[in-house]
Structure 1
């Protein structure tokens, strides 16, 4: 019978701790108090209140400016320029003579016709006197009257030709560049000078047919040009096109903008904002939003406990740094707009200031820097 030997138990393995692991453990133990202190200290934030404002459907478009009145003056006869009465960019009034063409031949014809008219008037006067004394037939008087009317018609014809030798401003406006000189030969249809009425300018732009319900005559709008970054031009819709473009599916809209200072010029590209029907909406600064995919959240401050809590919200339209909140928030709620990245859900907060119409984030930060620095020194001590 085999002898059963006692089973040898394995010797206990001696574990050796590496110096690197010991160093990491010591560092972790040293940082634990600082982490705990940081978790206990409140987060410094800047806040704003959710408020109810008048909100309107906005429509944005691009448009091109046109002069209120614009014309290119040209000659209707072949003649030589005898006088130019304007300079580049000069403002002129309706009826001012701008260009005169050589008209000496027509002036001579006019003087001859006027002399003939005087002769015919005298002949009519003599025939009338004789007829009144029954010394001449009535037919002589009638012939003299017809001859006088004929020469008067000739005078009107000559004066019309003379008017064609003088180019006058049809309305008040500003002339363009002077590209002609005295002595130049002009022909019918030849462009001589442009004239634009610029105290009011037209603004044409396209609006999709799906938004045509927002349009109405007299609707105010705001226009902006990259040429004047800090200037906004106010105007209103004057007319709406009667047809929809079958290709672009849009309608042409024309507005008018006052331009007393002559800042706007025909051909300029304008960015247009139209305000449609208005409503009351709950809005907060756009900086308060914390996006995460399709989810939008806000850090709402519990003013009783001074803690921030993450809250999901539904948002609507955005406009000029503000966003409409459709659900998840109430008017008067205090939301974090600066410092949200360093603030966790449920963490205590210290509000440096509340942004409103008269106070900005930059002003609050500027005022609070000395206090923040002193608080940091106290914490270090």
Structure 2
């Protein structure tokens, strides 16, 4: 700024023939040189200034002032929370029903009682060869920034059509390598005494989807059949039983904690 002022003063005096042309040239040269120095300093500052590419919230700083850093080294995390993505998966048998923009409902253990609605925005083209699930991604609006990266969520996808299914508590299933089974309670009359009693019949079943404490049965059971809901590892085929539901646990669709 001082060099600019000196140059302007020298120009005024040169027009009045008070200073020589050599003095004006010297002031001009000084201004040009200092102006180049300022431009170089601005360029250096610009190279060392990090500008956020989008609006968001900053995390914890990973470096200190004056510290030398390398190319690609993380300085600080910048997160946009206005909308968030939820990664999850569904069994491969639902692939044909999945389309983008299907409604999703998300619940979090960290925010009990709240439901977040979103849309299915990405469907992976490959099926996981181990789990036989399809990786999916939903997008949720997050205006109050309550949802944070890394949170565990339960996601329900609203499929366009529903299918009737037989649903039983998962605790009613006796899982075994040779096949899963349940114990059906049937009335049986004693041929000698004529008295009726409740007898167990072990029925092998095919298990479908699991949701909360419930599992669906795709084969082996009929609607309306009565089964034993818990303690099946103690039972055997043909055992005579009595029904007492006083101490029976109540299965839940959304248990807390999950998978209990």
What TM-score, normalized by structure 1, do the two folds share?
0.36
What TM-score, normalized by structure 2, do the two folds share?
0.49
Structure in which a larger fraction of residues adopt strand: 1
Structure in which a larger fraction of residues adopt helix: 1
Ranked by relative contact order (alpha carbons within 8 Å, sequence separation 6 or more), the top structure is 1
Larger radius of gyration: 1
